[in-house]
Amino acid sequence: MEQTESKLNIFSFTGKMRILHLSWFAFFLSFFVWFNHAPLMGALREALSLSDAQVKAILILNVALTIPARIIVGMLVDHFGPRRMYSLLLFISSFLCFGFAFADSFERIALMRFLLGFVGAGFVIGIRMVSEWFPAKEVGLAEGIYGGWGNFGSAAAAMILPTLALIYGGDDGWRYAIATTGVLALIYSAVYFFSVSDTPKGSTYFKPKKSGGMEITSKGDFFLYLVMNIPMYAALAVLTWKLGPSNLKMLSPGVTLLIYFTLAGFYIFQTIRIYQINKHVFTSEVPEIDRYKFKQVAVLDLAYFVTFGSELAVVSMLPLFFMDTFKLSPVTAGLLASGFAFMNLVARPSGGLFSDKIGRKKTLLILLTGLAIGYFVLGSITSVWPIWLAVVATMACSFFVQSGEGAVFAMVPLVKRRLTGQIAGMAGAYGNVGAVTFLTVFSFVSNPQTFFIVIAVAAIAILAIVAFFMDEPKGHMAEVLPDGTVQMIEVE
């Protein structure tokens, strides 16, 4: 890999830093679009006379499609490259955003919000792009900057869109504010396409040997892979049940049953495809050069489940939590709630930097511990708290949440280079599985405090899994070039 810079200079806009800045802004816009509804839910709720159950349904729908989208986009980016995939994703998402902005009924709003979950898949595209441009000793910090500054898009939406809606004015000000985010995504889809390349000059873009499923390298990993796919389908089944006739009644009994059978069919189809790709592990040994431990992927999936999954869930409900708990205006509540996502600017890069400097596993253990404590503290917030103290507690908790995300994706590119998009896609999808899980819990609990406690308990369980099963990456990983020669890639 061609490298000309010895250090990360965030003020540079040349070489690899130019790619990093262009990529994190693409991710920023994807999050700006994805969470453009959260700070405007008060206005949206009033305009369409939505019930509390319908509001919670929209929050869950927003993260549902991202589960399969991240898996699929992860596979596509490994084959077609991040330049084309990011541009295409932003282009498509802009029109979905327009559809949401001008929908005039709950059913249409719900459908467009579900489809807009597609834009959340943008994250995995940039993970592959950044891993192509930065060496192992810098990739944690670089991925942290990409993820953290990009994730700030949700905070920017909370800070900017309520005021922008007021500037537009009238009953439809919120619609024009949301549509504006779509315009920005549309413009930047062209900017990104004509401004980046997938790899530095002279570098090889490694592609998977087979498509349709992740390559694994042992019999045990094959069965673990099948098990780890189940929660992604289960999360979509839970969402279907939540929207079905026994709950929100958005889906008829026949449609609900059809979705269940479709999910089961897709799981069976995927299992067959995974076997077709990996059946050789049952008859012969995989060459040492191609091996990696799938348990590393599984542990990273679970860690992202509780880090990014909880962030998505909390960002979705926090503006309403502040508004209802402290009786604030939508603008004020949005600004205060933005503190949670605001920490992404420093927290996620910090997690990546700590991972680069003190070790991948140790960093993740420390940050998950802080995350659990932070959510226990948020679980004690009530209306008697001073508002400033609630905001400080929220931002302190978010530091550990987002630093944990940075630590997870500091390790993702070090598992197996040619599979980075798929590994990032699966871990990213688990983040959305976590979001669906936690938002489903939120829809059942009687108060937000219980919701925060549930996340804290989940974090403790996953902390134990990381402690017992994660291995620290060491040495080098090998990839075979198209001409058959071997390239050794540093992982520490």
Helix then strand then coil, in percent of the chain rounded to 5, is: 75, 0, 20
- The confidence score (pLDDT) of residue 332 equals 87
pLDDT beyond 70 at 100? yes
The CA-based diameter of the chain, rounded to the nearest angstrom, is: 68
More confidently predicted of 481 and 254: 254
pLDDT averaged over the chain? 88
- The confidence score (pLDDT) of residue 492 equals 56
102-148 pLDDT tens trace: 998 888 998 999 999 999 899 899 999 998 999 888 889 999 999 88
pLDDT beyond 80 at 377? yes
Which structure tokens are listed for 167?
């500037």
Residue in the block written with tokens 């940075």: 406
Which structure tokens are listed for 276?
């077709």
Q: 143 with 356: CB under 8 angstroms?
A: no
Q: Which helix H or strand E contains 404, and what residues bound it?
A: helix 387-411
pLDDT beyond 70 at 491? no
pLDDT band at 5; cut points 50, 70, 90: very low
Complete domains list, the chain, with CATH = 15-490 (1.20.1250.20)
Q: What residues contact residue 325 under an 8 Å CB cut-off, 6+ apart?
A: 381, 382, 383, 390, 448
More confidently predicted of 64 and 358: 358
